[in-house]
Amino acid sequence: MKTEAIPQIKHIGAGNFFLLAGPCAIEGEEMAMRIAEKVVSITDKLQIPYVFKGSFKKANRSRIDSFTGIGDEKALKILRKVSETFHIPTITDIHEIDDAVKAAEYVDILQIPAFLVRQTDLVVAAAKTGKTINLKKGQFMSPESMKHAVQKVLDSGNEQAVITDRGTMFGYQDLIVDFRGIPTMRQYAPVVLDITHSLQQPNQSSGVTGGRPDMIETIARAGVVNGVDGLFLETHFDPANAKSDGANMLHLDHLEKLLTNLVAIRRTINSFNR
């Protein structure tokens, strides 16, 4: 497992995948702390290296009346509090060049959204902060093309790049995961599989993205079997009322069983490689 690109991560060497998980967006301090506390308790028990995920703002919404955040500084301070309280690294996505330096003051990992991963100025600005950079593969990009995004980070003097696959467009309203891309992209950087966003059903006529959360374990199992370094998922204690991406989230109550099953699968896969 390639965890060297992730700073401050616990349980390195345990043989597990690492986990990026949390709500889609920071809706408030109480919800963030509640989710983090639950996930930390589970990942500590299972010895899974864990990074708390939460967007400090949502800039890529379908409709202008969709939730975008509680205020940049307020949300970033909550991410910092999660990190300091539970002694775990945090990750948030950025959308504009100015976001890079601002967010880097509060979190350990900067995430480049899939729609923006070819935006050179944004990738370079993020890389120059010295933080780990999580590059989400564009839904419109091949696995092979991600080597150029990684190279932009490297050419900016930063060797801490991670690639996250979040599915590839399959028509207008569906995504598929091409598992052939995992070994390809692992040649360039550690690879994470974004389970929940891979199950989105975008471009709905309502302007609200749909999803297939019933398929979360299916996609996650396939990722673990095929050697992903990490898993990414969004979770919430009340997905139906989450302010963003609730349609494809995993209910927090189901997380422990899912991760327990996935750890068992990874343990079995590891035994083949001895």
pLDDT in tens, 240-268: 888 876 778 899 999 999 999 999 999 99
Number of domains in the chain: 1
State the CATH number of the domain containing residue 20. Answer: 3.20.20.70
Strand 18-22, strand 50-53: pairing: parallel
For residues 111 and 121, what is the distance between their CA atoms, to the nearest angstrom?
14
The torsion angle over the Cα atoms of residues 251, 99, 118 and 142, rounded to 10 degrees, is -20
Residues 6+ apart with CB under 8 A from 209: 62, 200, 201, 202, 203, 245, 247, 248
Statement: residue 126 has pLDDT above 50: yes
SS3 content of the chain, % helix, strand, coil (to 5): 40, 20, 40
Q: What is the H or E stretch that residue 231 is in?
A: strand 230-236
The DSSP output letter for 1 is -
Mean confidence (pLDDT) of the chain: 90
Domain coverage including residue 113: 3-273
Q: Which two tokens stand for residue 202?
A: 């975008």
Per-residue model confidence as pLDDT tens digits over 8-46: 666 655 678 999 999 999 999 999 999 999 999 999 999
Other Cβ atoms less than 10 A from the Cβ of 227: the count is 17
What proportion of the chain, given as a percentage, has pLDDT over 70? Answer: 89
User: Which backbone phi and psi does 65 adopt, to 5 degrees?
Assistant: -90, 5
> In residues, how long is the chain?
274
**The pLDDT value given to residue 1:** 39
**The pLDDT value given to residue 158:** 96
The DSSP output letter for 252 is G
The DSSP output letter for 22 is E
